[in-house]
A and B are shown apart, each in its own frame.
Chain A
């Protein structure tokens, strides 16, 4: 056996690969099924960004909390939310993670530390300050991680949260997943600073920028930031520069993108391909073993879709449960 040059064990490398591949296949399948009209509502796909979710979440436990975004499927899968429950939720079924009441933009599983995808951009950042505060009060070493895109990084809630986390010295981490587009608007136009490190330092936080298509770069930077937060070192900002394989939402014609852009990034900046080549070239994991995972993941997604389609719809009485109804 070749010596493992990576900062993860062989088992953890396989786990990370499985997470990324599961996210990819989940999203690719949604892309196809949404186009067929099988899925109600809005769907925002995370394909292309998997290394960020996996590289960060590999460091987390169930008592660590994350708050996600509208583009939340990848965070959910990486944080351990059940894929069958996620798919059923997206299909609006009673077996869904939120029993069909949340949908794609609101998948949550607090038992796994997943505080929810969120339809309001930037809204997760204050919530994560609260999760980090709860961890600090309890003294359980937990951290809170807020994900925002480059778009939501301009929200006041996000900027206020940077300050609050710094003032209260919270174990909170703010991850900016910079995929270059706020919906259709270019990041470079809409964010006035060149680097998020400058923005972080403006609030008294350390900031780190990494290539978000490089799982190992994300993993190492996140590991250092999370370790520091657990030890009482306070909040930090991590910018992951990454690429989005699909549009803002499914159905987005993406006319704002350059011709050939998506083909080019799929060819040269596919984080899963990059990861696979690294571990195969290093002789740590043979290609056949990764391909076996690919087949298992395809079966899992197929089974999740089949189960979701066959699952019961919410009973009409569900309309009026899980909330105090005053009228």
Chain B
């Protein structure tokens, strides 16, 4: 039975269901229980934003607080994954990958290939991504492209509660390491979510809106900005097809190519920086594989190539917005040769 719950609740529910189903699932991270060893309440926090709240009471020691020591516990989660457990490790903010990246990209990502297919590393690393929280340069990044670049890891970034639940359950059951990116500004967003367990396969994009005039591809928070842009364009008799990639590695190229072959126009929206991004990756793939279908140059709408600023007025400028996405779509519809540069000088 579906009810309206938030993305935060959906993630909590996915963890609860999988921990109940499979005793090898353990969850670890900084403050994911909260208050371990402290004189106050048990389960004091349930994660810094309360995502894992209540799970400790139900699952006990299978939820483990860790020291502030990302290299050690992310590595421990990875090592335990090669020894028969299915750990879910919370990295809190994806920005913290800088202190433990070796364990992710040189260890977890490589084991299956480097050991000739004789190792599996079923670990999920959950981390908050994205700007808009007034959290500034070191707690706000969208680092999805860095992980997508690495063979051997899978990268997931849901845009809503329904997808978050189904994709997290799939992530826990997957036998490869998965970087599960949770946009912190989507935690409170509610939608209809079934109470029962379900898994959403990787590599299946979600077409949120049909349209024949222009294709808008995105993932995470900016999917919602793309939908706003599509509504604005509809008032101008421009019908945009909006595709939510949901998983970035694997990625559903077929859905993107099929759409572009129909619309002939593509806008890619990415909250990451523009260089070597999901946006540039999709643009390049379409340029190589559907060039003949394109009626206009591909437009990228991304964050600028700057760190995330603190001051709200600057941060709001940083995040791709609906107006910029609609403008990009309009550029694809302008007569050839008149497209202005799409990124600021």
Please determine whether chains A and B interact with each other in the same assembly. Answer: yes
Residues of A within 8 A of B (CB): 65, 67, 96-102, 106, 108-111, 115-116, 118-120, 123, 125-131, 133-135, 137-138, 144, 156-157, 160-161, 163-164, 167-168, 321-327
**B188 at interface (Cβ–Cβ under 8 A)?**
no
Which one of A108, A116, A133 has the greatest number of beta carbons of chain B within 10 Å?
A133
With both chains docked as a complex, state the minimum distance between the C-beta of B71 and any C-beta of chain A, in angstroms: 5
Whether B119 lies near A128 (C-beta < 8 A) is no
With both chains docked as a complex, state the minimum distance between the C-beta of A145 and any C-beta of chain B, in angstroms: 12
Partner of B71 from A96, A109, A126, A134 at Cβ < 8 Å: A126
Known contacts A131-B80, A134-B84, A324-B176: A156-B71 contact under CB 8 Å: yes
Known contacts A129-B76, A130-B75: A109-B83 contact under CB 8 Å: no
With both chains docked as a complex, state the minimum distance between the C-beta of A237 and any C-beta of chain B, in angstroms: 15
Whether A134 lies near B85 (C-beta < 8 A) is yes
Partner of A96 from B80, B87, B116 at Cβ < 8 Å: B116
Interfacial chain B residues near A134, Cβ < 8 Å: 79-80, 83-85
Whether B82 lies near A163 (C-beta < 8 A) is no
C-alpha spacing A101/B107, complex, angstroms: 14
Count class of interface residues, chain B: 35 or more
Interfacial chain A residues near B22, Cβ < 8 Å: none
Residues of B within 8 A of A (CB): 26, 62, 64, 66-67, 69, 71-85, 87, 102-103, 106-107, 110-119, 148, 151-152, 154, 176, 249-251, 285
Whether A323 lies near B75 (C-beta < 8 A) is no
Which DSSP category, helix, strand, loop or mixed, fits chain A's interface? mixed
Whether A161 lies near B75 (C-beta < 8 A) is yes
Whether B118 lies near A98 (C-beta < 8 A) is yes
With both chains docked as a complex, state the minimum distance between the C-beta of A17 and any C-beta of chain B, in angstroms: 30
Interfacial chain B residues near A322, Cβ < 8 Å: 112-113, 116-117
Interfacial chain A residues near B154, Cβ < 8 Å: 324
C-alpha spacing A144/B115, complex, angstroms: 19
Interfacial chain B residues near A321, Cβ < 8 Å: 117
Q: Which 9 A-B pairs have the closest CB atoms?
A: A126-B75, A130-B79, A127-B79, A99-B116, A130-B80, A98-B116, A134-B83, A160-B72, A322-B117
Partner of A120 from B67, B102, B117, B251 at Cβ < 8 Å: B102
B66 nearest CB neighbor, chain A only: A164
Partner of A128 from B73, B79, B102 at Cβ < 8 Å: B79
